[in-house]
Every structure is written in structure tokens, then in C-alpha cells.
């Protein structure tokens, strides 16, 4: 029995690296949210041969195939021809469907759209033309050997609109799924801790690590999925984000609102990334007062009140400086809780005593003040990303304990 969805991204520009595919990755995310498995994602050239090979591979095996791209009016757009060739039929215009598209436009653009009718109105005989509410190329749909095939233009806003209108209403949930986001654990240690749950043969489990979080995705029968999620939360009661919280910044804002606590930041090596993460959450203005990006020693002194003598004695990358920065942010913004980050993100600036990746964190709040250090590996981007994740987790845990 055919099941799941195969996604085909078509375009020479995707294979050359001139552009990256966003359509299939976007749709894969939507399918994941609906509990529908993606059987595969392929990137293909504007060539009938590879398209025919991909159709031959997936028709009869996947319940749905969705193609992105190759439906424009130019010579290198070959998807409609490939679909007709696969079906063994010719191409014919769907005049009624294309009339609807033309009617959306006013002159002089209407005449330009009309000029492409001879190409963009064509669909394989026996197929169905799909209305495009955002562009001028028809989509195409047909069924073959138990598989429904949908072809949409590759322009991202056209693809997404047509997928929402014509394809997503057709899918059904093939399984129940839930996810749990766990903080403070490495992928390997978490897998060992939850070995019995993760190796349950009745479940399909995905372990997805990211900076500061590991996402566990459970698929299977609804009762077994619920039981697995419950076991994780009982085993790790202090480390799981609440249901519906998709990232740590969202969890921080939700918990701060619940606790009626105000937050602020003082950032050096992260350059505002912590504040950006928090303010990216709707409703964060009710709890987040501000972030002071103080990169230079002068800024740390003049804005946050870090003493020059302290900087000379301990340096900007130190626990003493991190605590002073957090204290200064709390004072400047008048917040209940403040986090500070100061470190060496590289690629230069490290020493034998303080190598690249040395990052100090300072906390100032009702429970007191403290600092701690993390020695991070990787390039500049990786160190900054992990520093941001650690700062957000620190805020979250301090709020939980407060």
C-alpha cells in the first residue's frame, strides 16, 4: 500500500548552488506537523529523464508526490512535458482555468500574462489544472497506480499558496505524533537515560539535537505516544519544556510571565543575540526590559558600571566582570533578573589562559549573584550560538527556581 509523501524539487539552479530549495523543506515541516511521513526529498535538474526516473521510483510507493518547479514559460521548464510523457499522453490547454488566472490582472500586465497562455495553460490530457492565486502558471494534478501527483510552480510564494489550497487539504494523519524538548542533556547521555522508552519497537522515535536542546519526536499509536511522552516528563521533570513551547526563548518568556518577573541582558561576545531571541517571541515586551550590548571595555564601564580596576585585574573575560555586567544591567533596566555574557568567540583573541571559546556568564537576581564559565569549541558562529543557548537556559532555570 502506498504511504507517505515524496517531494521533488526541480531546477538546474538548485543543483548548481545558485539557489537553495526552500519549498520542499517548508512542506516537509508542514507534513511533519500533521504526522505525515516524508518518504524522500530529491533535487532534480530541468530534464525530462531524471523527472521520469523519479516518478517511476515513487508512483505506487508513496501516497502523494509533490513536485516544485519547472512550470514556467521558458525553454528550460520541462516539468509539464515530463508529466505528459510519463502518462503517455499529449498536452492540451485548460482554457477555463487559465481564464481565471488572466482575469486577476489589469493592463498592461494582463497582456503579458495572456502572451504566455500557449505554454502556461498546458496540462497533460486527463490531468486537472490547478488554479494559481499568486502567479500565472497552472498547477497540475493526476492519479496513477494509487499515487496522487501534484505539480506546483517553484516560486516560493506561489508554491506555498498552492500547496495550502490544493494539496494540504487532501492529506490525512497517518499516525499520531508528539514531541518533547529537553534541555541540559547531550544527545548520547539522553539516549542512554531514556533507553527503554526510545527503543520501544512500537514507536518510531527521532532524536534531533540543537544548541542547548534535544527534541524527541515520537510517532505511533496515540496511546503509546502519550505514554512515552509521559515517561520522559516523569523521568526528567526539571528539564522538559512545556507542551507547545518550540524553543527556549519561548519557554523563558512564558515562565517569566507566569512568575511576573522582568528580565534584562548585558551582552558582549553574543552581540545582542540573547535579546534578539527573547524579543522574537510575541508578548515578550511584557517581561523583557532591554539588552545592553557592551562590546568594548569602555562601554562596559560607562554603561554598566564595570570598574576599570576590576578590568585591569581580571580582564573583560572573567567571572568578576560577568557578575558586574549582570549587576549593571539589572540596575540600568530595573529588572528582577539579569544575565550577562562575556567571552572570546574567535577566531582571534585567545591566550593560553583564556583560549578561544572561553565564555563567562553572570547572573544577578533575587536569589543573589553568581558566575560560571563554559569552554566551547567550534567556529565563531558556533560559539556565539551556544553562548546564546546557555544564557537562555540559565534564565529559564533561574526562573524555575525563583
pLDDT digits (tens, 9 = 90+) for 26-74: 999 888 777 788 999 999 999 999 999 999 999 999 999 999 999 988 8
Give which of 7, 3, 65 is closest to 40, Cα–Cα.
7
**How far apart, in Å, do the first and last CA atoms of the chain sit?**
54
Residue 120 — pLDDT band, cuts 50, 70, 90? confident
Spatial strand order in the sheet of 139-144: 38-44, 5-10, 64-68, 147-152, 139-144, 128-130
Residue 148 CA to residue 160 CA, distance in Å, equals 18
How many CB atoms lie under 10 A from the CB of residue 299?
15
Strands 147-152 and 176-183 turn out to be unpaired
pLDDT of residue 222: 83
Residue 204 — pLDDT band, cuts 50, 70, 90? confident
Please state, rounded to an integer, the average pLDDT across all residues of the chain: 93
Give which of 251, 227, 254, 228 is closest to 240, Cα–Cα.
251
Percent of the chain residues past pLDDT 70, beyond the cut:
98
pTM: 0.71
Contact assessment for residue 179 and residue 232, using Cβ atoms and an 8 Å cutoff:
no
Range with the poorest average pLDDT among 201-215, 225-239, 338-352: 201-215
Per-residue model confidence as pLDDT tens digits over 133-154: 998 899 999 999 999 999 999 9
Per-residue model confidence as pLDDT tens digits over 171-180: 755 556 789 9
Residue 143 CA to residue 41 CA, distance in Å, equals 20
Q: DSSP of 144-168, one letter per residue?
A: ETTEEEEEE-SSHHHHHHHIIIIIG
Residue 291 CA to residue 328 CA, distance in Å, equals 11
Range with the poorest average pLDDT among 218-227, 270-279, 308-317, 368-377: 218-227
Per-residue model confidence as pLDDT tens digits over 245-283: 989 999 999 999 999 999 999 999 999 999 999 999 999
Per-residue model confidence as pLDDT tens digits over 321-333: 999 999 999 999 9
Residue 381 — pLDDT band, cuts 50, 70, 90? very high
pLDDT of residue 172: 57
- Cell for 258? 507566569
pLDDT of residue 116: 87
Q: Please check the confidence at residue 94 and state whether its pLDDT lies above 70.
A: yes
Domains of the chain: 5-170 (3.40.980.10), 176-235 (3.30.70.2860), 259-401 (3.90.950.20)
Per-residue model confidence as pLDDT tens digits over 5-21: 999 999 999 998 888 89
Residue 270 CA to residue 264 CA, distance in Å, equals 14
3-state secondary structure of 135: coil
Amino acid at each position: 500500500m502506498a504511504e507517505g509523501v515524496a517531494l521533488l524539487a526541480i531546477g538546474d539552479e538548485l543543483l548548481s548552488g545558485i539557489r537553495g530549495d526552500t519549498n520542499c523543506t517548508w512542506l516537509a515541516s508542514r507534513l511533519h506537523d500533521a504526522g505525515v511521513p516524508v518518504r524522500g526529498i530529491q533535487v532534480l535538474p530541468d530534464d525530462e529523464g531524471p523527472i521520469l526516473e523519479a516518478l517511476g521510483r515513487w508512483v505506487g510507493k508513496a501516497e502523494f508526490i509533490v513536485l516544485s518547479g519547472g512550470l514556467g514559460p521558458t525553454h528550460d521548464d520541462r516539468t509539464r512535458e515530463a508529466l505528459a510523457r510519463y502518462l503517455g499522453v499529449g498536452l492540451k490547454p485548460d482554457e477555463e482555468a487559465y481564464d481565471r488566472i488572466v482575469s486577476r490582472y489589469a493592463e498592461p500586465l494582463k497582456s503579458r500574462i495572456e502572451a504566455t497562455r500557449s505554454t502556461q495553460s498546458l496540462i497533460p490530457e486527463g490531468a486537472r489544472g490547478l488554479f494559481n492565486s499568486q502567479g500565472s502558471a497552472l498547477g497540475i494534478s493526476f492519479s496513477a497506480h494509487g499515487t496522487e501527483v501534484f505539480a506546483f510552480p517553484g516560486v516560493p510564494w506561489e508554491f506555498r499558496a498552492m500547496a495550502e489550497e490544493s494539496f494540504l487539504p487532501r492529506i490525512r494523519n497517518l499516525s499520531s505524533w508528539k514531541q518533547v524538548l529537553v534541555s541540559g542533556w547531550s544527545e548520547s547521555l539522553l539516549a542512554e537515560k531514556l533507553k527503554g522508552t526510545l527503543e520501544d519497537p512500537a514507536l518510531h522515535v527521532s532524536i534531533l539535537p540543537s544548541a542547548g536542546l534535544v527534541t524527541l519526536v515520537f510517532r505511533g499509536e496515540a496511546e503509546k505516544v502519550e505514554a512515552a511522552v509521559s515517561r520522559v516528563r516523569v523521568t526528567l521533570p526539571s528539564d522538559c519544556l512545556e507542551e507547545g513551547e518550540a524553543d527556549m526563548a519561548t519557554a523563558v518568556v512564558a515562565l517569566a510571565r507566569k512568575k511576573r518577573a522582568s528580565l534584562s541582558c548585558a551582552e558582549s561576545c553574543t552581540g545582542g543575540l540573547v535579546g534578539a531571541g527573547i524579543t522574537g517571541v510575541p508578548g515578550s515586551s511584557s517581561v523583557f526590559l532591554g539588552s545592553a550590548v557592551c562590546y568594548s571595555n569602555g562601554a562596559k564601564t560607562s554603561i554598566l558600571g564595570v570598574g576599570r580596576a576590576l578590568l585591569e585585574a581580571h580582564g573583560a573575560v572573567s567571572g568578576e566582570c560577568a557578575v558586574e555586567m549582570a549587576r549593571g544591567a539589572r540596575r540600568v533596566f530595573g529588572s528582577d533578573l539579569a544575565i550577562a555574557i562575556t567571552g572570546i568567540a574567535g577566531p582571534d583573541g585567545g591566550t593560553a589562559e583564556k583560549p578561544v571559546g572561553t565564555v563567562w556568564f553572570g547572573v544577578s537576581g533575587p536569589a543573589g549573584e553568581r558566575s560560571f564559565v563554559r569552554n566551547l569549541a567550534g567556529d565563531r558562529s558556533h560559539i556565539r550560538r551556544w553562548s546564546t543557548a546557555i544564557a537562555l537556559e540559565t534564565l529559564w532555570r533561574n526562573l524555575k527556581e525563583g
